[in-house]
């Protein structure tokens, strides 16, 4: 599959700690890839490097074949790399619509009528149409997460980076969110999704990558990766019983 | 005898519900391993038992008394001691001073500075050293020693091996095994499940705030733990 976003030979250290140790990663056009790994594996750092909020010590990032390593996060957002964060931080005293409008204006740009239409479309795609005029700070957790997705979607991404968006939800809520995210792929958007809630993630991605200690240790079909002995050892320590 | 009874505990962090309707008994003298992925609610549950997190619902019963509304420092006097993740020593105090701070809340019992140094001989030459100057393993030993100084009946340990070199982890775990042999009741949160099971009598696994697996540490299989840990086999084991 032709990659839309690729990280090539990424190294990153924080002081003496090597966080990414030669990571190669790519997501294909329209593909959804999950990234799992125990605490400290380097997943969020990789996402930060892809998004441009962290500069790697070595390696480069390609978006649709072009080297975007030197582009800052805001520029990459306009180029098509959208991102939803683990802890949604909406503008609390603005409405749901206004929050999404900010994403549409800052990310996709264009004439005001287009920005407006894109914001509405993102709201609808995330099932927030009925809450458009609610102040964001009055939303519950699931709706905040939907708003975080809608804001990212409104930037017209070709790739969406999701950072543990499923955390803290009930099973039913996680299923709802999963349906929303799965629908993004129908729009041709590629997804890179880090998630601790593995049983939700494996239903939302076609391919799973497992990282441990700054390296990719498995890459393949989700159920095969999750039954890989090396992956289980990375999570659970040495063999049990 | 049931030393600790956790009854239908709900605990929240703002909008996020970290612990959902968890019930759990801990018998006197047992070592219970509490395992689960990041964000499963393990630390919140430990903190709720210790009294440093107020639950949104449910009860904590310790030695037959409802302690749900009892403040953390009073629970220490009743015999509940928490070794928090990250150790939280007083950096400018010496090892010995860190230990002595805890004796302000101590119950009657066998633990004093000398007894702690006996279990953690690596601390003996360091008793006058400032906590800030210690290695991770030495700090962890001091933190566990500080909890022991209160003469706890229930010792709650949160990720005591985090950030420690493997050889140091071996040493800390050897000490835990010794504490368990002396009859201290222990609840242990640990990422390294193999290690946790090796010193535990029973294991419970949490997933997204709920208990999803419970069983004797010797009988639980790797497949059961894996299924429960990742939520990939929702029927594995008996839910708590």
Q: Which residue of chain A comes nearest to B20, CA vs CA?
A: A170
Q: Given this model, what pLDDT does residue A110 score?
A: 85
Task: Give the B window 2-21 contacts with A, CB below 8 Å.
Answer: 15-18, 20
A-interface mutation test, from B13, B16, B39, B192, most A Cβ less than 10 A away: B39
Cβ count within 10 A of residue A93? 9
Q: Specify whether the CB–CB gap between B210 and B239 falls below 8 A.
A: yes
Q: Which residue of chain B comes nearest to A143, CA vs CA?
A: B15
B-interface mutation test, from A168, A201, A210, A223, most B Cβ less than 10 A away: A168
Q: Which residue of chain B comes nearest to A203, CA vs CA?
A: B232
Q: Given this model, what pLDDT does residue A240 score?
A: 46
Q: Given this model, what pLDDT does residue B136 score?
A: 86
Considering only residues B176 and A1, tell me which one the structure prediction assigns the higher pLDDT: B176
* CA of B179 vs chain A CAs: smallest distance (Å): 22
Average pLDDT, chain A: 93
Q: Given this model, what pLDDT does residue B119 score?
A: 86
Q: How many CA atoms lie within 13 A of B47 on its CB side?
A: 17
Q: For residues B203 and B115, what is the distance between their CA atoms, to the nearest angstrom?
A: 29
Contact A236 B193 (CB under 8 A): yes
Question: How large a percentage of chain A has pLDDT more than 70?
Answer: 98
* CA of B7 vs chain A CAs: smallest distance (Å): 20
Contact B39 A196 (CB under 8 A): yes
User: A58-63 and A3-14: which strand pairing?
Assistant: antiparallel
Q: What is the pLDDT along chain B (240 residues), one digit of tens a residue?
A: 999 999 999 999 988 899 999 999 999 999 999 999 888 999 999 999 999 999 999 999 999 999 999 999 999 999 999 999 888 899 999 999 999 999 887 888 889 999 999 888 889 999 999 999 998 889 999 999 999 999 999 999 999 887 777 777 887 888 888 888 888 999 999 888 888 888 899 999 999 999 999 999 989 988 888 889 988 865 434 333
Q: Which residue of chain A comes nearest to B16, CA vs CA?
A: A168
Q: For residues A82 and A100, what is the distance between their CA atoms, to the nearest angstrom?
A: 13
Q: Given this model, what pLDDT does residue A238 score?
A: 62
Q: Given this model, what pLDDT does residue A221 score?
A: 96
Report in angstroms the alpha-carbon separations of B92 from B98, B129, B225: 9, 9, 41
Q: Which residues have C-beta within 8 Å of that of residue B30, sequence separation ≥ 6?
A: B185, B186, B201, B202
Task: Give the A window 18-77 contacts with B, CB below 8 Å.
Answer: 38-39
Q: Given this model, what pLDDT does residue B238 score?
A: 39
Q: For residues A34 and A197, what is the distance between their CA atoms, to the nearest angstrom?
A: 11
**ipTM, interface predicted TM-score of the complex:** 0.75
Q: Given this model, what pLDDT does residue B235 score?
A: 40
Q: Given this model, what pLDDT does residue A239 score?
A: 54
B-interface mutation test, from A201, A223, A240, most B Cβ less than 10 A away: A240
Report in angstroms the alpha-carbon separations of A218 from A209, A212, A222, B164, B179: 6, 9, 10, 26, 39
């Amino acid at each position: 599959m032709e990659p839309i976003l690729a990280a090539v030979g990424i190294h990153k250290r924080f002081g003496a700690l090597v966080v990414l140790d030669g990571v190669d990663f790519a997501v294909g056009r329209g593909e959804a890839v999950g990234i799992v790994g125990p605490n400290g594996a380097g997943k969020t750092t990789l996402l930060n490097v892809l998004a441009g909020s962290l500069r790697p010590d070595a390696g480069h990032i390609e978006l649709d074949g072009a080297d975007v390593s030197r582009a800052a996060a805001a520029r990459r957002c306009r180029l098509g790399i959208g991102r939803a964060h683990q802890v949604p931080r909406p503008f609390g005293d603005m409405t749901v619509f206004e929050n999404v409008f900010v994403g549409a204006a800052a990310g996709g740009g264009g004439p005001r009528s287009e920005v407006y239409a894109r914001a509405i479309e993102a709201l609808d795609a995330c099932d927030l149409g009925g809450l458009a005029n609610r102040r964001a700070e009055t939303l519950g957790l699931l709706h905040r997460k939907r708003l975080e997705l809608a804001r990212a979607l409104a930037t017209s991404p070709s790739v969406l980076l999701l950072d543990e968006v499923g955390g803290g939800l009930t099973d039913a809520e996680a299923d709802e969110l999963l349906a929303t995210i799965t629908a993004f792929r129908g729009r041709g958007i590629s997804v890179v999704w880090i998630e601790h809630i593995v049983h939700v993630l494996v239903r939302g991605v076609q391919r799973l990558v497992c990282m441990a200690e700054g390296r990719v240790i498995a890459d393949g079909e989700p159920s095969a990766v999750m039954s890989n002995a090396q992956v289980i050892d990375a999570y659970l320590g040495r063999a049990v019983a | 005898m049931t030393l600790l009874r956790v009854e239908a505990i709900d605990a929240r962090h703002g909008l996020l519900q970290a612990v959902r309707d968890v019930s759990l008994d801990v018998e006197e003298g047992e070592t219970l391993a509490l395992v689960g992925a990041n964000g499963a609610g393990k630390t919140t549950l430990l903190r709720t038992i210790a009294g440093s997190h107020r639950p949104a619902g449910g009860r904590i019963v310790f030695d037959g008394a409802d302690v749900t509304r009892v403040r953390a420092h009073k629970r220490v006097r009743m015999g509940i001691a928490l070794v928090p993740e990250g150790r939280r020593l007083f950096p400018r105090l010496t090892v010995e001073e860190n230990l002595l701070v805890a004796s302000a809340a101590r119950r009657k019992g066998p633990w004093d500075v000398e007894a702690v140094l006996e279990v953690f001989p690596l601390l003996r030459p360091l008793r006058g050293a400032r906590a800030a100057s210690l290695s991770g393993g030495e700090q962890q030993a001091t933190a566990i020693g500080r909890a022991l100084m209160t003469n706890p009946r229930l010792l709650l340990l949160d990720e005591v091996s985090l950030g420690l070199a493997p050889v140091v982890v071996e040493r800390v775990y050897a000490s835990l095994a010794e504490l368990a042999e002396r009859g201290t009741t222990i609840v242990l949160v640990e990422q390294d499940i193999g290690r946790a099971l090796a010193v535990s009598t029973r294991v419970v696994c949490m997933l997204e705030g709920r208990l999803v697996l419970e069983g004797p540490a010797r009988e639980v299989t790797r497949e059961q733990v894996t299924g429960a840990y990742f939520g990939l086999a929702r029927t594995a084991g008996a839910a708590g």
